[in-house]
A and B are shown apart, each in its own frame.
Chain A
């Protein structure tokens, strides 16, 4: 019986197994072929992530694995697809960077694959132990990746800062998890929900809930747990920043949604106020703090803090429209972020990469295609119709209105008006200001990512919006 259960479980976690075994094989290839194998390992890592993606979509069955520790439902599948796309794009974009910066390290793609494995475990975590193990696997690999350029003081500082604060947040999360276990006697999320539905909620449980939410809020860099974000984004090698801004955010957001909706739906009223607070604080902070930034990597850090606030608006609604909104928001946010980072990685002159916003001025004359795409990205991040970003914001705000959170929706709209200023400033620099020195021509892989992401945001989303919306709706139904 045990072996029956095991084999059905193994089918369900097929994509994760592919990544785990594949990462070890890639590492062996790297070790035996030496430093010059970095390009080969990078291409194989992309192939591996794509195979896992196809396996996930076409072969892997849905269901409950390992006695409830892994929940593989439509929500998990939707988020895992996003995570795999985000990671694959980050690996693709790192290929040229590693070459030009001369740190050809084959461990780089291997660690990204292992981190992706952690994210997939997070997304389908069914109990508190899986949740923690997935989170640690994901974070530990990213701490190393942030510090991987060890000859650069900035990169080392970014890695160390991220590690120390990340360890602190893990501590908070574990403390909260132990409280939850102590007061419900359960570690499985569904069992926690069942015991909450029948019993009276106790004070200790709420304390545990708040601590776990604080630990998770750190991972999505929501205010007031955002302090690490700008420094880490700026110091880490740019392809890692592109990874950090995309896939782990999606995974951690999925984890928060699952933790709140699967485990704590009976006490929604208690966590809703926490989510409303961090959502408002993140939106406001993201909007105002980004205004004075000079480095575009720092700007993207503040922008991502704000966007996590908008996504949390959907969770605060705690209804099926809200969860659908979060899923949709993360999909569109991921595409836009990847496109923007493809531009940032292309900002390179003869004397190395640059990351000041000033360097973009007059881009429309030297590289009109890139300027057009970056304009689309910026306006989509700002949330202007008819770009994809507008629909993302529309659905989370509608969900908030539907569950009666009018103030939250109004504050969200006001914050996006403020944020519009700094996105438009970049557009103005590119189209109306004096021409700066032109960039070197972008490598082919960056152009591919830019074209795919740019065309998705506008106008492809107008045509595929229906199916994406349907997938997000199916994902949201998992919790109801």
Chain B
């Protein structure tokens, strides 16, 4: 059993890391986004292996279903000039290198300091997750989401409500001189109103 789990872990892990590398390395931005989706799916597999099936599904629904597709739209709609972007990247490279070196130095100092003297790094650990009594974690979340955490649920709903109003206020425009489809009008048509019969005299034309 463990062997099988390890086998799938390595498969998903390799796909995730390989996909992430390809996001950076591929020349075509559309391919990059597709590799990003592959990485998300592989990560969802990893979550599934650790028993966090809710997170796995959320990752697929939110990141693959919404965020990555949005990226794809943006990348395909905007005509990106990769060559120009690369040139600009080269321009900023020295600055980036300085920051990278600084961060690396900080990291080395922090880790080595922490290893030499672990006292300042001790932390009060978070409480372990409450025993769910054999429930799957979606069930466990469902048990508290609408009772103990009803306030958060409702507040999040209000935030989405504001977002909806905002999107409408800022973008909806009623254009004039646009012919709109009116389904009631279409349904209400009958032969009497839809066609007009004209008597054309023979030999005269219209």
Contact = CB atoms under 8 A, between A and B. Distances in A.
A110 B152 contact: no
Contacts of B122: 200, 202
Interface in B148-195: 148, 150-152, 154-156, 158-159, 161-163, 165-166, 168-170
Contacts of A181: 126
| Among B126, B127, B151, B152: residue with most chain A CB under 10 A | B151
A182 interface: yes
B127 A147 contact: no
Interface in A214-248: none
9 contacts: A6-B150, A20-B158, A105-B169, A133-B156, A137-B162, A183-B123, A200-B122, A202-B122, A205-B123
B124 A183 contact: yes
B170 A185 contact: no
Interface in B80-135: 120-127
Interface of A: 2, 6, 9, 20, 24, 27, 65-67, 69-70, 105, 107, 110-111, 114, 117, 121, 129-130, 133-134, 136-137, 140-141, 143-144, 147-148, 150, 159, 181-185, 195, 199-200, 202-205
A181 B125 CA distance: 9
Contact of A111 (B121, B125, B165): B165
A107 B120 contact: no
B123 A107 contact: no
B155 A27 contact: no
Given A6-B150, A66-B150, A203-B121, A133 B159 contact: yes
A117 B158 contact: yes
Contacts of A133: 152, 155-156, 159
Interface pairs A-B: 7 shortest CB-CB: A144-B166, A185-B126, A133-B155, A66-B151, A185-B127, A107-B169, A140-B162
Given A141-B162, A147-B170, A202 B152 contact: no
Given A110-B165, A111-B165, A114-B165, 19 more contacts: A9-B151, A20-B158, A27-B165, A66-B151, A107-B165, A111-B169, A114-B158, A114-B162, A137-B159, A141-B162, A144-B169, A148-B169, A159-B170, A181-B126, A182-B126, A184-B126, A185-B124, A202-B124, A204-B123
Contacts of A24: 161
A134 B169 CA distance: 22
Contacts of A129: 152
A183 B127 CA distance: 10
A9 B170 CA distance: 36
Contacts of B159: 133, 136-137, 140
A195 B166 contact: no
Contacts, number: 84
Interface size class of B (residues with CB under 8 A): 20 to 34
A202 B126 contact: no
Contact of A141 (B120, B166, B168, B170): B166
B147 interface: yes
A40 B121 CA distance: 60
Contacts of A202: 120-124
A121 B124 contact: no
Contacts of A148: 169-170
Nearest to A182: B126
A34 to B, nearest CB: 11
A9 B149 CA distance: 12
Contact of B124 (A141, A159, A195): A195
B124 A199 contact: yes
B123 A143 contact: no
B112 to A, nearest CB: 15
Given A2-B147, A133-B156, A182-B126, A203 B162 contact: no
A433 to B, nearest CB: 41
A159 B162 CA distance: 15
A184 B155 contact: no
A130 B124 contact: no
A182 B127 CA distance: 10
Contact of B155 (A110, A130, A203): A130
A111 B155 contact: no
A272 B206 CA distance: 92
A200 B119 CA distance: 11
A69 B163 contact: no
Given A2-B147, A70-B151, A137 B158 contact: yes
Given A133-B156, A143-B166, A144-B165, A182 B123 contact: yes
Contacts of A141: 162, 166
Contacts of B148: 66-67
B151 to A, nearest CB: 4
Contacts of B168: 107
